[in-house]
Structure 1
C-alpha cells in the first residue's frame, strides 16, 4: 500500500450523518469528477451553484485549496473562476501552482534515474506499455499515448500549441507544451523535472493494474489511478501524494488536519480523505472511497460538493 499520513478526525464532533459540528478552516477539493463533471473535463466547467458555494466559503474566511491530479497545463484556463480562491495542488501533490500568475510555487520532481528505472521495469512487465511524463517544461509523450483522434479535440479545447521539440522558456507557453518522443526516456536530459510519470496499458482492468504495480514497487514510488475506465496509472516520487502536500500547506497556515474537510472521487484521493479531519466522497466516484469517507455526498453532476458546503456554512465557528 502507498505511504500515507496518520488519519485524523477520530476526535472531531459530528452529527448523525457524519458532518462536523463547526465550520472548517480549510476546504480541499479534487476537481475532475468531484466539482467538474467528467463530460466537461476539457472545458473545465464548474456549475454556477458550485462556484457560488466556493465563493461564499472563501468570503466567509475559509481557505480553499484545489487538490488535483491535473497537470498545471490544464489549470491556467481555470484561473478566471477558481484562481482568486486559492492555489492548485496539482499533479497529485507534486506541484503547488498559482493559477493567476502561471507560476510554480513549489515542485517535488522525481529523480531522473528513478524515472528511467521505473519506466524500464514497467516495460519489462508490460510489453504494450505506452508512457507519458508531465514535466515542468511540458508533457513528453510516446506515440499513441494520446490517440491521434483525440489530439486535435484536446488541443482546441485547451488551446495547446502544436507539438514541437524546441524547449520553451516562456512560463505561459511552458505549461501547455506537448513533446513527442519514441521513448520518453530519450528526452529526460532536456526535460529532467518529471513531476508525474504515466503508464497506459490497454486491455487491463484499471484496479487490477493498480494493485499489481503497487505491489511491484512497494514504497519506492507512489502509484495511483484517477481516470475511470482507462488503464492509466500515475506515478510520483515515493514521498509525494495529495495528502503530503496538502498537510504541509495546511501547516504553513497553522491549520490542523481536524479543521480540514476534503472532497474526492477517485483512488488518487484516498490518502487525502484519510488525512483530513472530515472527508467526503461523491456518490458518482469510485466505490472504494466510500469506506474512507465520513460522508458520501451526492454525485458530481448533482452539485454534491456544493450541497455539502452550503451545509457547512450554516455551522458555528
Structure 2
C-alpha cells in the first residue's frame, strides 16, 4: 500500500536509476506504493514501459500482497504480462485466464496459534481471514474495502477445524488501532513468528501472516526456477517490509523514493517515487542501457 515514508518526487537531485550489468530475463514488481500511483491507477508511461520490456524478451511478474480478487487494476493492462504472485506469495495467479494456478496456504492451526499469541501480547488486536474465494473478519476489524454480504465472526470460529468448508486460508490479517506499525510487527514476530511468516505492507498497524516459509521471495524463486531463471537474472522493485525478502533475493533491486527506510537500506538501486513513475523510469533506463 502507499507508504508514509515519502521524501520527495525523485531519488536525488539530478540522479537517475542505475542499471544491472546484464539484461534481465524477468522483472518482478510490487504494486501498491511501487508500480501504482497513489490513486491506485497505472500510468500510461508505466503501461508502455511494461510492454516495451516484454517486447525486449523480459518476462514481467506482479508480486503483491493483494488478493487475486483485487487484481483488476492491472489485469486490463496485461497484453502478455499476465502472471501474478498474490497474497505475499500464497498464490500464483493467471491474470489472462482468471484462475489460481498454485496455492501455499496457512494451516488453520498455525493461524489459531498466532491469534492466541497476539491476543495475549497485544490486547485490542482484531483479525480477518483471506480465503481462496472470500474474505471474512471480526466485527472489530475495519476492512480496507468492505464487500457486500461479508462473513463476520470471531476468528477462532473462522479458523476452527472444518469451518473452512474446503477453502484454503491464504492469509491471516491482524489490525491494531493504536500501536506503531513497526513496533506491532516486532512484537508479533517475537511472540508468534514460529507459526507463520509475518510482515506488513500498510502504513497503518496492519500485519499480514502467511504460512511458514511462504513469502514473495520464496514463491518468486519457485516460479523462476520453473523457467530456468536465476536470481541474478531478476530485477525487483518494492517499497515496504513485505518486499524485503524478494528484493534481497533478486540480483538487482530497486527501492522507489517513497519506500520504507528498511527497503531503502536493503536495495542496490533507487528510482523515483511511485507517484512519479519510478518503475517505468528504471525500466526505460534498463532497456536503453
**Alignment TM-score, normalising by the size of structure 1:** 0.81
Deviating above 6 A after TM superposition, structure 1's stretches of 4 or more consecutive aligned residues are: none
In the alignment, structure 2 segments of 5+ residues that lack a partner are 1-15
The match for 2:209 among 231, 235, 242 is 235
Contact 2:137 2:151 in 1 (8 A): yes
1:305 is displaced (CA, Å) by: 0.7
Q: Secondary structure at the match of 1:32?
A: helix
The match for 2:87 among 91, 102, 112 is 91
- After superposition, give the CA deviation of every residue in 1:62-98 in whole Å (9 maximum; x if it has no partner): 0110000001110135321136313110000000011
Contact 2:17 2:281 in 1 (8 A): no
1:265 match: 239
Q: Secondary structure at the match of 1:81?
A: coil
1:99 is displaced (CA, Å) by: 1.7
Q: Secondary structure at the match of 2:80?
A: helix
CA distance in 1, matches of 2:55, 2:151: 41
Contact 1:279 1:294 in 2 (8 A): yes
2:221 match: 247
Matched, 1:193 2:168: yes
CA distance in 2, matches of 1:219, 1:255: 30
Contact 2:113 2:195 in 1 (8 A): no
**Count, aligned residues:** 270
In the alignment, structure 1 segments of 5+ residues that lack a partner are 1-15, 164-177
Contact 2:17 2:285 in 1 (8 A): no
Matched, 1:275 2:249: yes
Q: Secondary structure at the match of 2:255?
A: strand
- After superposition, give the CA deviation of every residue in 1:206-226 in whole Å (9 maximum; x if it has no partner): 011111111222343111010
Matched, 1:23 2:23: yes
CA distance in 2, matches of 1:24, 1:283: 22
The match for 1:217 among 182, 185, 192 is 192
Compute the RMSD of aligned alpha carbons: 1.7
5 Å-filtered alignment, 1:128-167, equals 128-146=124-142, 154=145, 160=147, 162-163=148-149
1:18 is displaced (CA, Å) by: 4.6
CA distance in 1, matches of 2:78, 2:207: 27
128 and 83 in structure 1: CA distance in 2 versus 1, 3 angstrom threshold? farther
